[in-house]
């Protein structure tokens, strides 16, 4: 309970911090007042149409990545699992890259997230075909690796053959992941998918707890592992597909956050689900604040900061737990 | 009334028959030992009975819905998996999952079952320790307690006493015998024929996927069966401290 209250307070504080962070110079108080007032002043427009959706997306994406990371680690019983593992983010990135390269984004602003979502759906179908009801957890990992590799290869191919250096640069920057210049349209596009994903993943807690004892024992306790795997794949795909579609590839959240919080929830996979959702939201909010405060003049990418923070954090965790892992 | 009824149960894996036409019933009050050499089909029999393996023939447990089956039989697999560093008590509490309506916390009855399982397996001192930090034998006892916490009429366990020290082996077999005495039943595979002789009310002997003997220990652990199935000679005596069984040597 104390952990829940602490995490919620942290998310709220960082959410407020995200709202008052940015290039438009105004005091924190003025900014928050402008957000509430909606008086048509430039500051009010900035707050309502730029900063609010940006902060909301940070929460949604962080929660989605943290939740799906915790669920995947619970299902695979492996602390190294992360949402990118099942290949959805790679496929979504490929869709986005195709939209940029083909010039579709210039004709239609939502071509990019829609193409990304489309490719994510294709990847889900491929995963279900390979590791569906009759698959085992190892099949899911292998199918995910294969789809990631294929999506990565096709993305490289597009970059390689790109006749337009500007499109190539756009692609590279987009793939670094960012929440800059996102609007409420992005929120409304991602929210339905994420909401469905959250409901699916949140329902898995009891099954993931049972899986602590292995698949055999869990099944004998009444767990339907095939159903759990289906919900896990669809839920993760909805969350990660939507997150990648609106913000590009943001790594490490789904890997590091469940790691950080596992001890605090007594290692129970069900408790780790909601804790990781809150923790993920806090981590993405914090990184997105850092992006704007560290180098305000440069367009620092969220994915870059996340990896720069996440990788050392992960090294530290490995250092701390290496005795247990041995 | 029987707690388990198998009829012509057969299992084929990779075109090889690992279990052929096994029929048996287990009634309340029985502590049944499942014996046989490596590869005789003991694990396949237990898993198929639970519906965890594809099989032909019938098993009444396997026809239950998954939720009902979780309340009818507890299963302790041979692989002693504990994936996360949870406390002993948290791990044992997982046994209550089949009884808990979705989204509810442990109730008084659940806590009572958990406490009973902890005290039966003598784990009170370990209760708040991290399960993955315990020794292999201690982990095995914790996992048995987990299955006991499920509080089902029937307990199926695959080599539950392998790797335990002698005192824990005897105590654990006594727990199974006591369960049977209280009107539950246990079906336990094991290789320690001496403990099987002393604590089981009935032995099932598997040989190459077939049930070749079924009866009281004295009728199953015969010189002929030992030679035929295990390829060993053995010493068996009924003493005033109970039956004593000791394998002697491998037959040429």
For the entire predicted model, the pTM comes to 0.91
One-character DSSP codes across B34-99: EE-STTSSHHHHHHHHTTSS--EEEETTTTS-HHHHHHHEEEE-SS----S--BHHHHHHGGGGGG
Q: Based on the number of CB atoms within 10 Å of its own CB, is A232 exposed (0-12), middle (13-18) or buried (19 or more)?
A: buried
B143/A213 CB distance under 8 A: yes
How many C-beta atoms surround the C-beta of residue B240 within 10 A?
A: 4
Q: Smallest Cα–Cα separation from A80: which of A256, A205, A211?
A: A256
Distance CA A42, CA A33 (A): 13
pLDDT in tens, chain A (326 residues): 789 999 999 999 999 999 988 776 777 778 887 887 777 788 888 888 889 999 999 999 999 999 999 999 999 898 888 888 888 889 999 998 898 888 887 888 788 888 988 898 899 888 888 876 666 778 888 888 999 999 999 999 988 888 888 888 888 888 888 898 889 999 999 999 999 999 999 999 999 999 999 999 999 999 998 899 889 989 999 999 999 989 988 888 999 999 999 999 999 999 999 999 999 999 999 999 999 888 877 888 998 999 888 888 888 877 877 766 55
Q: Smallest Cα–Cα separation from B206: which of B32, B83, B4, B16?
A: B32
The token duo for A184 is 């409420």
Distance CA A140, CA A130 (A): 8
Distance CA A80, CA A82 (A): 6
Which single residue is written with the structure tokens 């099987």? B196
Predicted-complex ipTM score: 0.92
Of A216, A222, A262, the CB nearest to B52: A216
A210/B82 CB distance under 8 A: no
Mutate to test the interface with A, among B54, B66, B82, B84 (most CBs of A within 10 A): B84
User: φ, ψ for residue A25 (rounded to 5)?
Assistant: -85, 115
Q: Report which DSSP code applies to B246.
A: E
CB B204 within 8 A of CB B42: no
The token duo for A178 is 């960012």
B83/A212 CB distance under 8 A: yes
Mutate to test the interface with B, among A221, A266, A326 (most CBs of B within 10 A): A221
């Amino acid at each position: 309970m104390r952990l829940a209250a602490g995490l919620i307070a942290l998310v709220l504080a960082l959410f407020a911090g995200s709202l008052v962070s940015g290039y438009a110079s105004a005091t924190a108080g003025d900014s928050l007042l402008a957000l509430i007032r909606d008086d048509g002043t430039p500051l009010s427009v900035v707050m309502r149409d730029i900063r609010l959706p940006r902060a909301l997306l940070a929460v949604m994406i962080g929660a989605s990545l943290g939740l799906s990371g915790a669920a995947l680690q619970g299902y695979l019983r492996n602390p190294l699992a992360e949402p990118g593992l099942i290949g959805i983010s790679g496929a979504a990135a490929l869709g986005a890259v195709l939209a940029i390269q083909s010039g579709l984004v210039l004709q239609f602003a939502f071509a990019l997230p829609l193409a990304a979502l489309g490719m994510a759906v294709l990847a889900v179908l491929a995963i279900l075909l390979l590791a569906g009801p009759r698959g085992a957890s190892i099949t899911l990992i292998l199918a995910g690796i294969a789809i990631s590799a294929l999506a990565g290869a096709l993305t490289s191919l597009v970059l390689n053959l790109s006749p337009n250096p500007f499109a190539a640069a756009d692609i590279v920057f987009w793939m670094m992941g960012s929440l800059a210049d996102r609007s409420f349209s992005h929120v409304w596009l991602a929210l339905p998918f994420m909401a469905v994903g959250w409901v699916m993943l949140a329902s898995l807690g009891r099954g993931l707890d049972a899986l602590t004892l292995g698949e055999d024992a869990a099944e004998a306790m009444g767990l339907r592992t095939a159903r759990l795997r289906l919900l896990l794949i669809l839920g993760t795909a909805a969350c990660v597909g939507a997150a990648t579609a609106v913000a590009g590839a943001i790594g490490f959240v789904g890997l590091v956050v469940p790691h950080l919080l596992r001890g605090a929830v007594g290692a129970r996979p069900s408790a780790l689900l909601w804790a990781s959702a809150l923790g993920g939201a806090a981590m993405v909010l914090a990184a997105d604040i850092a992006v704007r405060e560290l180098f305000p003049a440069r367009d620092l990418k969220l994915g870059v900061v996340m990896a720069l923070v996440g990788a050392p954090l992960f090294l530290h965790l490995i250092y701390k737990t290496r005795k247990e892992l041995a | 009334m029987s707690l388990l009824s198998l009829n012509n149960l057969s299992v084929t894996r990779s075109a090889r028959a690992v279990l052929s036409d096994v029929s048996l019933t287990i009634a309340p009050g029985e502590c049944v030992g499942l014996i046989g050499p490596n590869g005789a089909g003991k694990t396949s029999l237990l898993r198929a009975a639970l519906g965890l393996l594809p099989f032909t023939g019938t098993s009444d447990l396997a026809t239950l819905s998954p939720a009902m089956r979780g309340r009818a039989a507890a299963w302790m697999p041979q692989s002693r998996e504990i994936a996360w560093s949870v406390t002993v008590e948290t791990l044992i509490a997982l046994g209550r999952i089949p009884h808990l309506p979705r989204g509810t916390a442990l109730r008084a009855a659940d806590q009572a079952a958990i406490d009973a399982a902890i005290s039966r397996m003598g784990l009170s001192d370990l209760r708040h320790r991290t399960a993955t930090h315990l020794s292999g034998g201690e982990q095995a006892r914790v996992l048995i307690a987990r299955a006991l916490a499920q509080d089902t009429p029937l307990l199926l366990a695959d080599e539950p006493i392998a790797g335990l020290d002698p005192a824990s082996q005897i105590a654990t077999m006594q727990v199974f015998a006591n369960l049977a005495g209280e009107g539950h039943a246990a079906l336990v595979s094991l290789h320690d024929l001496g403990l099987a002789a002393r604590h089981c009310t009935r032995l099932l002997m598997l040989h190459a996927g077939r049930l070749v003997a079924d009866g009281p220990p004295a009728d199953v652990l015969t010189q002929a069966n030992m030679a035929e199935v295990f390829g060993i000679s053995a010493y068996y005596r009924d003493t005033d401290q109970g039956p004593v069984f000791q394998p002697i040597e491998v037959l040429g």
